[in-house]
Amino acid sequence: MHELSIVSSVVETVTESLAAYPGARVLEVRLRVGALASVVVESLEFCWGIATEGTPLAGSLLVVKVVPVVARCGKCAEDVELASLQSFRCPRCGEPVTDLRQGRELEIDSIEIEENP
Amino acid sequence: MTTRIVELRKGILKKNDELAAGLRGRFGQAGVLVLNLVSSPGTGKTAFLERTLKELRDRGARVAALVGDLETDNDARRLAASGAPVRQINTHGICHLDAEMIDKHLAGWEGVELDGLDYLFIENVGNLVCPSSYDLGEKVRVALLSVTEGEDKPLKYPTLFNSADAAVITKMDLAEPCGFDRELALKNINEIRPGIRIFETSSKTGVGMGEWLDYLAAERSRERFGRP
């Protein structure tokens, strides 16, 4: 259960970046979370209200996009999306894969803000 | 009122990652091999580390350990019996160690200089989920699994096992009474992390420890002298 610390770090980073937009209100915060990031999306959403209370992010919506795991298959010489987290093999040819290209992301993609006229 | 989308593209754990990268640089420069031990509570991390510290010291290696725990210093006291310097990190409810805690506890650690160490072990908080997100600057992440936990643990916690550099199966002396299916466990670990080095050990009987210590020595010389 480290989702609260992750959410708190999101609030901190977004608050810092708001310095460039004085008086702006945050409507939405969009995250990219890899399927291998060890983060439970429901817990992030659950913590969001508590963590944003009393901050410029209060009342904003958290939108999480889960990024699937993509690995390089040496045999197919192509990037392939894993079918399941229980098997790190190429879904096409069955070759074990170790070179992950995507799936561990834990990042703030963008925010939607409402600016004062 | 106008709305606008601001692209941020910032890593959420950026601060931890930067701090960890700094630590990794310091460890590399000092030539100390740093390992991060992760498992569920009760796998036998402390017993395994106790035996590892003792046997490394018997071989003349200079070792130290940082030990994460929610509240107590029981593990640190157990490990200190090996004669190695041990420092406790109490996380006070936080379910993982992070790079900042490592940095803080390295500073002002009486009698311990990175330059004077061959190995530094970090025993993480017993948890198979959260520690996988936090880089501590380690060279080797070790996932431990005991024969009493069930062979499907790697399948249940793929995020942790996939991020590991080595896997250790503990309590092999109990394999038979527990009906431990060794082949299945090895297959499951390999399914999640193909090709990973796996050590089958018992901290009680010492089985498998020789192979583990040889692996440590090889990893350490790679850390100190670079890849062959």
Mean pLDDT by 10 residues, chain A (117 residues): 87 94 94 93 93 94 97 97 95 96 96 87
What is the percent of chain B where pLDDT is above 70? 99
Beta strands per DSSP E along chain A: 25-34, 61-67, 70-73, 78-81, 99-102, 106-115
Residues of B with CB under 8 A from a CB of A: 1-15, 94-96, 129-130, 132-133, 155, 158-160, 162-163, 190-195
Q: Which two tokens stand for residue B110?
A: 């009486």
Query: For position A94, what pLDDT does the model report?
Result: 96
Helix A3-17 and helix A41-52, axial crossing angle in degrees, nearest 10: 50
Prediction ipTM score: 0.87
**Amino acid occupying residue A53:** E
8 Å CB contact of B194 and A106: no
Query: For position A1, what pLDDT does the model report?
Result: 62
Residues of A in Cβ contact (< 8 Å) with B194: 88-89, 96-98
- Is 0.90 surpassed by the pTM of this model? yes
Q: How far apart are CA B188 and CA B151, in angstroms?
A: 7
* Distance between A90 CA and the closest CA of chain B, angstroms: 11
8 Å CB contact of A98 and B195: yes
What is the percent of chain B where pLDDT is above 90? 87
Query: For position A44, what pLDDT does the model report?
Result: 94
Write the residue in A104, A111, A116 that is nearest to B6 by C-beta.
A111
Residue tagged 């006229």 (tokens) = A117
Q: Which phi and psi (to 5°) does residue A23 adopt?
A: 80, 0
Closest chain A residue by Cα to residue B159: A36
Residues of A in Cβ contact (< 8 Å) with B193: 88, 98
CA-derived radius of gyration, chain B = 18
- Dump pLDDT digits (tens) for B82-98: 999 999 999 888 889 99
DSSP conformation letters of B45-79 = HHHHHHHHHHHHHHTT--EEEEEEESS--HHHHHH
B-interface mutation test, from A88, A98, A105, A111, most B Cβ less than 10 A away: A88
Q: How far apart are CA B133 and CA B112, in angstroms?
A: 28
* Distance between A2 CA and the closest CA of chain B, angstroms: 6
Query: For position B141, what pLDDT does the model report?
Result: 98
Query: For position A72, what pLDDT does the model report?
Result: 97
Residues of A in Cβ contact (< 8 Å) with B8: 13-14, 17, 108-111
- Dump pLDDT digits (tens) for B96-155: 999 999 999 999 899 999 999 999 999 999 999 889 999 999 999 999 999 999 899 999
For B90, counting Cβ atoms within 10 Å of its Cβ (0-12 exposed, 13-18 middle, 19+ buried), the class is middle
Residues of B in Cβ contact (< 8 Å) with A106: 11-13, 133
First to last CA, chain B: 62
Give the sheet arrangement for strand A78-81, strand by strand. Answer: A78-81, A70-73, A99-102
Residues of A in Cβ contact (< 8 Å) with B5: 110-112
What integer best gives the mean pLDDT of chain B?
Answer: 94
Neighbours of A111 (CB within 10 A): 24
Q: How far apart are CA B61 and CA B55, in angstroms?
A: 9
8 Å CB contact of A88 and B192: yes
Residue tagged 């209060």 (tokens) = A58
Query: For position B228, what pLDDT does the model report?
Result: 41
Residues of A in Cβ contact (< 8 Å) with B96: 2
Q: How far apart are CA B134 and CA A113, in angstroms?
A: 30
